Structure 1
Amino acid sequence: MSAHSADAARRVDVVLVKAGRTKIRYTAELLADDGTRIAVRAPWAGDGVRDFGFVRFETGDVFTEYYWRDRWYAVKEVRTATGALKGWYCDVTRPATLLGTELVVEDLDLDLWRSADGTDVRRLDEDEFAQSGLAGRDPEAAAAAVAALDELEALAREGDFAALLR
């Protein structure tokens, strides 16, 4: 295999789908895939700066992202361009699927943030989740999503996700 094709084999397109449409698509480096958990790394894929008030995602930030084929969430470690840990941004999603070079993840609106020092753990977008109507359309998925957010919050309050990401 040539160096070029080896590089290509280590790249995947992360496709985040929300309400049946592609919300964002970006190329990431495939770090590991053990059959259950998939790890990728990518630079901040948003346009410019996204200021949440409690954290800013900006050009140069690096996301190491962990997806599971058997869990209803993804955990994203966020670092500055110089490597300083900002924290972890977690998305509640349906279990991920890797189809060829596409890592497809369906966003279920609920999110969680944990700051690097652990002093800030916050549940996000519960209003969006309620407005999405998922509970009426797919009560089992809605229950799994809420349980996933509860699990993420418990993990975030106990530590820094290290055991989960090993």
Structure 2
Amino acid sequence: MSAASADVEVEVEIVLVKAGRTKIRYPAEVVADDGVRLSVRAPWAADGVRDFGFVRFEPGDVFTEHYWRDRWYAVKEVRSGDGTLKGWYCDVTRPAAVDAGQVVVEDLDLDLWVSADGGEVLRLDEDEFAASGLAGADPEAAACAVAALDELEALGRDGLLDLLR
């Protein structure tokens, strides 16, 4: 992957959409873009602390986020303000749409957490996914989402970093 160059946007706006509504938007610095995978860096963009029980996201945390134009997920490396790796938060999404300084990603409810030491690999929000109705409304997208979560879990158990090299 090549580093961001003069012909690549230096900053983009990340737009996370869920169920047809914008969930959050925030600026991010482009780290690299090879035409398939776009990598950006951004501070924790939500207000306050979000404690999941297995990890806390908080002001000062830095996310290096990887979006693919051809894969049904995004992988976010999470570090504390002092640089300590917390782990990887993976969102199952439709492939990212990158255009005119924006990265639009549709969240499909399924998530995966991989701890920094790889000891915890947690499938998340499967109940939300089932309740979303995607399987009935768009069975093909639902199948892609489930396959993406399975792929992420396997990658998490086999060393997620290999995906990001």
Instruction: Kindly provide the amino acid, as one letter, of the partner of residue 161 in structure 2.
Output: A
SS in 2 for 1:83: coil
Output aligned runs, 1:2-151, within 5 Å: 9-151=9-151
The alpha-carbon deviation at position 9 of structure 1 amounts to 3.6
Alignment partners' CA distance in 2, 1:46 and 1:124:
19
Alignment partners' CA distance in 1, 2:12 and 2:31:
10
Instruction: Kindly provide the amino acid, as one letter, of the partner of residue 78 in structure 1.
Output: V
**Structure 1: tracts of 5 or more residues without a match:** 1-5
Output aligned runs, 1:152-163, within 5 Å: 152-159=152-159, 161-163=160-162
Alignment partners' CA distance in 1, 2:121 and 2:162:
18
Residue number in structure 1 paired with 2:3: none
Give CA deviations for 1:86-105 in whole Å, capped at 9, x if unaligned: 00000000000111101000
Residue number in structure 1 paired with 2:163: 164
**Structure 2: tracts of 5 or more residues without a match:** 1-5
Alignment partners' CA distance in 2, 1:25 and 1:47:
12
User: What is the TM-score when the length of structure 2 is the normalising length?
Assistant: 0.94
Q: Percent identity?
A: 76
Give CA deviations for 1:56-108 in whole Å, capped at 9, x if unaligned: 00000000000000000000000000000000000000000111101000000
Instruction: Kindly provide the amino acid, as one letter, of the partner of residue 117 in structure 1.
Output: D
The alpha-carbon deviation at position 119 of structure 1 amounts to 1.1
Alignment partners' CA distance in 1, 2:112 and 2:161:
16
* Greater fraction of residues in helix: 1
